[in-house]
Structure 1
Amino acid sequence: MSTGSGAHSAPAPNSQEDTVSDDATATTPGTAPGVAAGPAATPRKGTFSSLRIRNYRLFATGQMVSNTGTWMQRIAQDWLVLSLTGSSAAVGITTALQFLPMLLFGLYGGVIADRFAKRKLLLFTQSAMGLTGLALAVLTLSGQVQVWHVYLVAFVLGLVTVLDNPSRQAFVSEMVGQDELRNAVSLNSANFQSARLIGPAVAGVLITAFGSGWAFLLNGLSFIAPVAGLLMMRTAELHPVDRVPRSKGQLREGLRYVSGRPDLIWPIVLVGFIGTFGFNFPIWLTAFVYHVYHQGAGTYSLFNGLMAAGSLIGALLAARRAGSRLRLLVGAAILFGALEIAASLAPSFWVFAALLAPIGMVGLTVNVTANSSIQMATDPLMRGRVMSLFMMVFVGGTPLGAPVVGWITDAFGPRIGFLAGGLVSLVAAVVIGLILARMGGLRLKIDLRRGHRHVAFVPRVPGTASSAASSSASSTASSVEKDLAPAA
């Protein structure tokens, strides 16, 4: 990013931050790096290419273990709250409290992540997250747990996440460099979704056989793995990134950095709508299991496992993809909303279950495409602040959406609640897609003739892109056009 950001020093000369792939090298003021070149500029790599790097292997292994524990706790937490209260709104409140700190303090977490060594920050945050799991385990296993205890632990976990999220997101580039960044981001998502397959299944067995407390205990212990991985890293092999010295106005600087870039601000707005209204699966799935299908924790784990299977497929496909383009993001967001609407109207248990895998796959595509395209386009000195804004909008919107969605679900039924979330996601994707097309001087062309591209964005007037290059604002619009229009 370049417009409105002020002067920034370049990354260390020997860092791979200097060697950016061709689709992320636009550095002229007013242009939009990361989207100007077509996908052909980036050679296709192996699905697991970033795992060749030792530090990243240690990181990924530790995250796989702790992510499995996190998913166990998430399932156990939702089911415990529903068992204690019988209310979908209470599940929504728990989710909201966990993500409220991100909404309130998320940008400050990014400022801190840009100032300090991210490996040291992660040692602190991962240890603290493990302690929250152990605290909830003690309360539950001792039989003293009350719903306000769960609320409090969720809020504390959210506070830690404010610092953990931007630090973890930005640390990826320090481990793998810019050349492998897109692949590593996709593998992080595959890692998370693989754990989502294992964690709910184990949690379902533990909850049914022994109760929720053992799931909380194993989650707390699982954080030993990422802490050990961080301690075992070879710091000399990390790609150095200059830390930002403490100064006034750094938060405003980060916001200005994003505000002049439509290729960044509109994807962030889009994932904000989807994260706020479309990703409230703990509320909807517990409600469908409990109130529509009258099943137990095992079915809830099954539903989460089906979504995780789809998400894992989506993550692996993203790892093989050579580029991250806005048209893919918008198209996936439209399909995501349509699938949620279809699921809300599913006539039977198995039709509903069958739709969860594609919902997971497309939802993951939205997340990874937005995440990787934003990271690739961001100056390393600003990455913590930009990613904290991304996470604040994507995750921090949940405190606003979850209670509303929970109330709709309680008042009008699970189907209406799910339908409302899908409808908001669909409308937001369509509107933002049209905004981006208009800014890029494009129009939607529909051609139903056989052998022709049926739906595509094409220039409104021939030569739009060349005439747009006359000003910095038009140059950004030209890059949006290239990112939305089909490859030649």
Structure 2
Amino acid sequence: MTVTDTPWTPLRNPVFRMLWLAVLASNAGTWMQTVGAQWLVVHEPDAATWTSLVQAVTTLPVLLFALPSGTIADALDRRRLLLGVQLGLFVVAATLTALAALDHLDPPLLLVFTFLLGVGQALTLPSWQAVIPEVVPHDQLPSASALGAVNTNLARSAGPAVGGLLVAQFGSAVVFGLNALSFAIFALVLLRWRRPSRPPTGHAERFGSALRAGERYVRWSPVVRRILGRVLLFVLPGSVIWALLPVVARQELGMGAQGYGILLAALGIGAIAGALLMPRARRLLSTNLMIVSTGLVYGLALLVVALVPHVIAVIPALVLAGLAWMMLVSRMNAAMQLFLPNWVRARALAIYQLVFAGGQAAGALLWGQFASAFGLDHAFATAAALMLAGLLLVRVWPVHTHENDDNTPAVYWPEPHLMYQPGLEDGPILISASYRVRPENVTAFTAAMQRVRGSRLRTGATQWGLFRDGEAPDTFVEVYLVPTWDEHLRQHEGRLTETDEQSEQQAVALADSPPTVTHLLAATTRTEP
């Protein structure tokens, strides 16, 4: 491997390095805050429920705001959006610090502030992940995407570890204050970054239609759907550790806040080891082998916590769990980054975060209630069984990442010239394309058109069909419905990719000539002038 091919090469880019370190500090501060919040309520009578509620309200905002945030990030200047959110988070975290220092923070009020911080994180994540391809060259994007996932998971493990040690020595107010400081640092870095001005790409997309376009893209992208499904199958049972580890430390192992910090440090060491092993694992293991390997390791770690509740066994198990969590989540996140085209990247990554955090929130609530009813050992054993059972689906539902697809924007459709010009919001629009296909090419043509179908539906169409003319059997007519003229123009102007163009060319090559295209406008669109 040459120097330019190393997984750490993007960190040589000063802008990426500066932003990466700022995000690491911010993410670590957020997880330190979570530890401080969980330890404040671990002494409550129903500790398992309270600690799981803290975890739930941390991630629940992603369910509510991630997709709108991703839509906004695709439409606005991502630097300014990130800067405004960090300043707001600083104010919230500073207020929380003051209340904790003055001992005016009861559990319900703590949950309110934790939720507000979660809202800020929901607004931050899609913008940050969508920014990565803007600051590194395209050939470094795989490494940069992986480093973005490494960042998140290092913070997820190392942040709580450091937070636990600080809580033991100084109390929760200190970690709340450090969290506020991390937001201030991120804001300062964003102020120093001068994002290059970009030429206008036309009129802004309306929020509602942009939201629906992002949802359609994910719905009609099998690659994205399978990545999301695999993440959910891993996170739902895997969240038992993040939700209940404070209770394990106190009730099962008899440890205080410092001991809890040691357990979290074990997770952090595992995550760092996973980051170091990722480049080699990526070369040696296919995506599906990575899924099976990490699932087995994580499931066995959960079984150790359930069946051998002793520090000498639990700490190595947590190291392995941190390693497996890092490697699986990093691989899935990088696969998303590499696959997504720029026009929908933030929205699709927001849906990824929605699934990820939603799985954690649902898992936290589930395992908190389960542990209260049946005990911690049964909760961890059941989670392990679910984790291992999910691996059985890999053979029948494998993940194909298509990392070699070219999602560079491709503007290859000719500009439509109509005698009757619709308004941007007029619709629906029915587009038809007629092909003449020789009998010997019919089977291959219809198969090729199925790939075209996916392209149309991902980029704006709501319905698609391929029909054969009964009076002229060699004539095939493709029809698809687009909600508005604006949606169709966006297909012309940048939503299609090089891979879409290749799929379309393969179908056209099987016809006798390029298709004849017509645009049918709704008769009730407008009154004639």
TM-score class, shorter = 0.7 to 0.9
The structural deviation recorded for 1:121 is 1.0
**What count of residue pairs does the alignment treat as equivalent?**
411
Aligned to 2:95: 135
Residue deviations 1:378-429 (CA, integer Å, cap 9, x gap)? 1110101110110000112233221111011122111111222222222223
- Report if aligned partners of 1:58, 1:230 keep a CA contact under 8 Å in 2: no
Specify whether residues 76 and 126 from structure 1 end up closer, same or farther in structure 2 by C-alpha distance, changes over 3 A only.
same
The structural deviation recorded for 1:140 is 0.8
Counterpart secondary structure, 1:294: coil
Aligned to 1:80: 40
Specify whether residues 169 and 302 from structure 1 end up closer, same or farther in structure 2 by C-alpha distance, changes over 3 A only.
same
Identity of aligned residues (%): 27
Equivalent residue for 1:331, pick from 292, 295, 298: 292
The structural deviation recorded for 1:168 is 1.0
Specify whether residues 109 and 74 from structure 1 end up closer, same or farther in structure 2 by C-alpha distance, changes over 3 A only.
same
The structural deviation recorded for 1:93 is 1.2
- Does residue 372 of the first structure (1) align with residue 302 of the second (2)? no
Equivalent residue for 1:124, pick from 67, 72, 84: 84
Aligned to 1:356: 318
Higher relative contact order (CA 8 A, sep 6+): 1
What root-mean-square deviation, in Å, do the aligned CA atoms of Structure 1 and Structure 2 show? 3.2
Residue deviations 1:129-158 (CA, integer Å, cap 9, x gap)? 222321221111101110011110111112
What is the 5 A alignment of 1:446-461?
A: none
Paired AA for residue 234 in structure 2: I
- Does residue 246 of the first structure (1) align with residue 205 of the second (2)? yes
Partners in 2 of 1:243 and 1:421 — Cα distance? Answer: 49
**Segment drifting more, 59-68 vs 108-117:** 59-68
- Report if aligned partners of 1:115, 1:243 keep a CA contact under 8 Å in 2: no
Partners in 2 of 1:407 and 1:140 — Cα distance? Answer: 27
Specify whether residues 340 and 57 from structure 1 end up closer, same or farther in structure 2 by C-alpha distance, changes over 3 A only.
same
- Report if aligned partners of 1:113, 1:167 keep a CA contact under 8 Å in 2: yes
Counterpart secondary structure, 2:5: coil
- Report if aligned partners of 2:304, 2:313 keep a CA contact under 8 Å in 1: no
Counterpart secondary structure, 2:43: helix
Aligned to 2:181: 221
Larger Rg: 2
The structural deviation recorded for 1:167 is 0.6
**Segment drifting more, 374-383 vs 240-249:** 240-249
Paired AA for residue 327 in structure 2: T
Partners in 2 of 1:199 and 1:61 — Cα distance? Answer: 13
Residue deviations 1:458-478 (CA, integer Å, cap 9, x gap)? xxxxxxxxx99944557999x
Aligned to 1:30: none
Residue deviations 1:35-80 (CA, integer Å, cap 9, x gap)? xxxxx9x998213100111111110222233233223212111111
Paired AA for residue 383 in structure 1: R
Aligned to 1:392: 354
Q: Which runs of 5+ in 1 are unaligned?
A: 1-39, 441-466, 480-488
Specify whether residues 242 and 60 from structure 1 end up closer, same or farther in structure 2 by C-alpha distance, changes over 3 A only.
farther
Aligned to 1:209: 169
What is the 5 A alignment of 1:335-350?
A: 335=296, 336-346=298-308, 348-350=310-312
Partners in 1 of 2:447 and 2:301 — Cα distance? Answer: 42
- Report if aligned partners of 2:97, 2:174 keep a CA contact under 8 Å in 1: yes
What is the 5 A alignment of 1:229-268?
A: 229-236=189-196, 245-247=204-206, 248-268=208-228
TM, length-normalised to structure 1 = 0.76
- Does residue 434 of the first structure (1) align with residue 396 of the second (2)? yes
Partners in 2 of 1:160 and 1:80 — Cα distance? Answer: 22
Partners in 1 of 2:47 and 2:94 — Cα distance? Answer: 25
- Report if aligned partners of 1:174, 1:240 keep a CA contact under 8 Å in 2: no
